[in-house]
Amino acid sequence: MLNKPLSSLSFTAFDFETTGLYPDKDRIIEIGAVKFDLKGDEYRFSGLINPGVSIPSGASAVNNIYDKDVADKPPIEEIMPAFINFVDDSVLIAHNIGFDASFLMQTNERLGLKTPDLICLDTILLAKQYFKGLYSYSLENISKAIGINIENAHRAEDDAEACMKLFLKCLKKIPDYSYLELKGLLKHSGLRKKTLVQNYAAGR
Residue type, 150: I
Provide the b/e sequence for 14-39 (b: ≥16 CB within 10 Å). Answer: bbbbbbeeebeebbbbbbbbbbbebe
d(CA 193, CA 173): 20
Which amino acid makes up residue 6? L
Complete DSSP assignment for 163-190: HHHHHHHHHTTSTTGGGSBHHHHHHHHT
188 given a catalytic annotation: no
Pick the catalytic residue: 154, 155, 165, 194?
154
What amino acid positions are annotated as catalytic residues? 154
